[in-house]
Chains A and B, each alone.
Chain A
Amino acid sequence: MSIHSLPLTATARLPRRALSLSGWLDRESVFSWLMMALPLLFLAALVGYPLVYGILLSLEDRPVAEPGHFVGLKNFITDFHDPIFWRVAVNTFVYTIVATLLKMVGGLGLALAMNQDFRMKNLVRAVLLLPFIVPTVLSTVAWMWMLDPAFSVVNRILIGLGMPRPGPSWLGNPVLAMISIIVINTWRGLPFYGITLLAGLQTVPPELYEAATIDGASGWQRFRFVTLPLLKPIILIVTLFSVIFTFADFQLVYVLTHGGPQNATNLFATYAFDIGMGAGQLGLGASVALMMLPALALLIVALTLYMRRA
């Protein structure tokens, strides 16, 4: 480190940078805030404002196309006395938890299967991601046809395998309808899980497996004590992502069952849509949507903190 150069550069820089407009613009903080101003304004206007406005709406009796008036927490009290609301809450939790568990286990299986050497591996990986790429609505329509009451190909395969006719009514039976939306959500999200975990698996140094093998670890023990601990951060982050967006899922259910039969598959998002858009009760609908917020906020804060640390 040179003692003499420090005051020299300091005096040399001062007149050039600090006094002119271009010098001011070149200051890190000025440049940064000017650069970020437009996107931040955009997000404030179209995310921040609607979020706050949504909270205000939830405190209003607000039929569509009419001015609303403030009713305090009345909408939330209505929700709490609404048996369908509780059904929706239970549905959403069941859907989120079961689908996430299936994606986690299936995705891990997919990653382990793909983490072997075989020909055309890149092609297989690309093809396996297709369910995740293709617009959800379009693939859900295909599933709807596969589960059609009269012409279900799934049932015809099952009958071919010996199941008695006419086979289950997938979308007509409350329990089967819930199973159906869980399976389709899993079908779509599993490749995302699998390929992300595969990338994690590929970063595990082979020496660790060799060392474990020399120490006499079995295949299961290598998985349990080497693979799993190293994958834990990735599993956690993927799971949080998956939980947030399964919890707030809309399109799959809207297209496949519309929340039916008898609200058996209605979720927060679809129920809020029914009330807000279908019945035109913007305030009450906003209150249903906002009931997602406590659980979501918890997850979002957890994930944001975690991503920042990583």
Chain B
Amino acid sequence: MVTGQNPIARLVRVWLPVGFFLVLALFPFYWMAITSIKPNSELYNTHLMPLLVRNPTLKHYVDLLTQTSFLRWTWNTMLVAVVSTAISLVLGTMLAYPLARMRFAGAGLIAMTVAAIYLVPQPLLFLPLADVINRLDLGNTLTAVILTYPTMLVPFCAWLLLGYFKTVPKELEEAARIDGASRLQTMRQIFLPLCTPGFISAGIFAFTLSQNEFLYALIFLTKSSVRTVPVGVIAELIRGDVFYWGQLMAGALLGSIPVALIYSFFVEHYVAGLTSGAVKG
């Protein structure tokens, strides 16, 4: 766009607004991090300048890992996220492939239905689902959330993959068909290996959405041993009116790291998926 400006105009045009957005986006994380390494004597002393730490300590982390089931919650969260993402990718592909490639009566209706289901928010479903899960006797099992997370992830993966599948050229599949391959062989051996970037995008999104999920986990998981990180942090680190802010911030930071790490490895795939017009915000 505009180039060759003097440095001051550039500073005002570029770094002033960008810097503003950066500070806004990052300050809460900075505050999480600095709180988590402050000793309580500094944390609750209003006479000290709050933005810096004088005697950093790992006490809150040690307490978090030894006095609560945080590691267990992290394991649960990971397990649930990985399994429900895998299920959703498989089921999503089974929906998206025919919709992207086949011509059959009802295709348009199914595509619309999948899109509409994707947009149905959880608060509309959680009360009846809670009753269903109770009747299936799945309360306080990870199966309850592994079964219910895909209700939002399958339509999402299907929709994102549908968009991706349509960008893959058809010629290879047509060649395989002429060579006598069945539709299933063509799909599995020729088509799906071409779609790795699409699966990575959909997979990362599904993974972050599972890590972010709270409502179903809150309702279905009430025992400490089966809780996920968000529910564990809210239910067990906030005890009545007493807040353990050091531990809370340590937990919030540690709980954010897996998502942030995965995201940082695949950020280009993430942005590609984000801008494909299939993501809710």
* Pairwise interchain contact A43-B117, C-beta atoms closer than 8 A: yes
- Asked whether A57 lies within 8 Å of B131 as measured between CB atoms, the reply is yes
Indicate whether B166 reaches chain A with its CB closer than 8 angstroms. Answer: no
Which residues on B sit within 8 Å (CB–CB) of A299? 119
Can you list 19 A-B contacts with CB-CB less than 8 angstroms, sorted by A residue number?
A: A36-B95, A39-B94, A113-B18, A127-B22, A129-B270, A134-B29, A134-B259, A137-B212, A142-B29, A145-B31, A146-B31, A192-B274, A195-B274, A199-B271, A241-B281, A245-B280, A251-B214, A277-B130, A300-B120
Chain A contributes a number of interface residues (CB within 8 A of B) equal to 107
A-contact 0/1 string along B26-59, CB 8 Å cutoff: 1011011001000000011010001100000000
Chain A: interface secondary structure? helix
Which residues of B have CB within 8 Å of A43? 114, 117, 151, 154-155
The proximity string for B residues 245-279 relative to A, scoring 1 for CB distances below 8 Å and 0 otherwise, is: 10011011101100110011001001100110101
| Chain B residue, CB-CB nearest to A46 | B151
B252 contact set on A, CB distance < 8 A: 138-139, 141-142
Chain B residues with CB under 8 Å of A110's CB are: 17, 21
Binds A, one of B63-71, B104-112, B192-200: B104-112
Q: Please determine whether B1 and A116 come into contact, CB atoms closer than 8 angstroms.
A: yes
Chain A stretch 282-310: residues in CB contact (< 8 A) with chain B: 282, 285-286, 289-290, 292-293, 296, 299-301, 303-304, 307-308, 310
- B105-133 interface with A by 8 A CB criterion: 105, 107-108, 110-112, 114-117, 119-132
The 5 A-B pairs of least Cβ separation, nearest first, read: A248-B121, A192-B281, A269-B123, A32-B98, A199-B275
Q: Tell whether B6 is near chain A: CB-to-CB under 8 Å.
A: no
When distances are taken between beta carbons in the complex, the residues of chain B under 8 Å from A124 are 18, 22
Question: Closest Cβ of chain A: how far from B212's Cβ, in Å?
Answer: 5
Q: Is A220 an interface residue (CB 8 A)?
A: no
The CA of A201 and the CA of B233, in the complex, are separated in Å by 39
With a cutoff of 8 Å between Cβ atoms, the chain B residues found around residue A32 in the complex are: 98, 102, 104, 107
Give min CB distance, A234 to chain B, whole Å: 8
Are B128 and A286 closer than 8 Å at their CB atoms? yes
Does A230 interact with chain B (Cβ within 8 Å)?
A: no
Q: Is the CB of A127 within 8 A of B26?
A: yes
* Interface residue tally on B, bucketed by range: 35 or more
Decide yes or no whether A80 CB sits under 8 A from chain B.
no
Bound complex: CA A303 to CA B278 (Å): 11
Q: Which residues of A contact B24 (CB under 8 A)?
A: 187
| Interface assignment of A22: CB less than 8 Å from any CB of chain B | yes
Q: Which of A229-283 contact B (CB under 8 A)?
A: 234, 237-238, 241-242, 244-245, 247-248, 250-251, 254-255, 268-269, 272-273, 276-277, 282
Q: Majority SS of interface residues in chain B?
A: helix
Residues of A within 8 A of B76 (CB): none
* Distance in angstroms between the alpha carbons of A304 and B115 in the assembled complex: 6
* Pairwise interchain contact B14-A46, C-beta atoms closer than 8 A: no
Within 8 A of B (CB), among A29-51: 29, 31-33, 35-36, 38-40, 42-43, 46-47, 49-51
How long is the Cα–Cα vector from A108 to B253 in the complex, in angstroms?
29
State whether B21 touches A134 (Cβ < 8 A): no
Q: Give, as a whole number of angstroms, the nearest-CB distance from B130 to chain A.
A: 7
- Whether A308 and B132, one on each chain, are in contact in the complex, defined by CB atoms closer than 8 angstroms, is no
From 99 to 129 in chain A, residues with beta carbon under 8 angstroms from any chain B beta carbon are 103, 109-110, 112-118, 122, 124-129
Is there an interface contact between B46 and A151, defined as CB atoms closer than 8 Å? yes
Q: Are the C-beta atoms of B211 and A248 separated by less than 8 Å?
A: no
Q: Is the CB of A136 within 8 A of B14?
A: no
Q: CA A131 – CA B233 in complex, angstroms?
A: 18
Which residue on A lies nearest to B45, using beta carbons? A151
Q: Known contacts A53-B131, A277-B130, A307-B277; is A135 also within 8 Å of B15 by CB?
A: no
- Check B229 for interface membership: any CB of A closer than 8 A: yes
Q: How far is the CB of B244 from chain A (nearest CB, A)?
A: 11
Is B281 a contact partner of A238 (Cβ separation < 8 A)? yes
Cβ-defined contact, B214 with A53, below 8 A? no
Contact status of A130 and B29, CB under 8 A, knowing A54-B124, A135-B229, A138-B256: yes
CB–CB A195/B275 < 8 A: yes
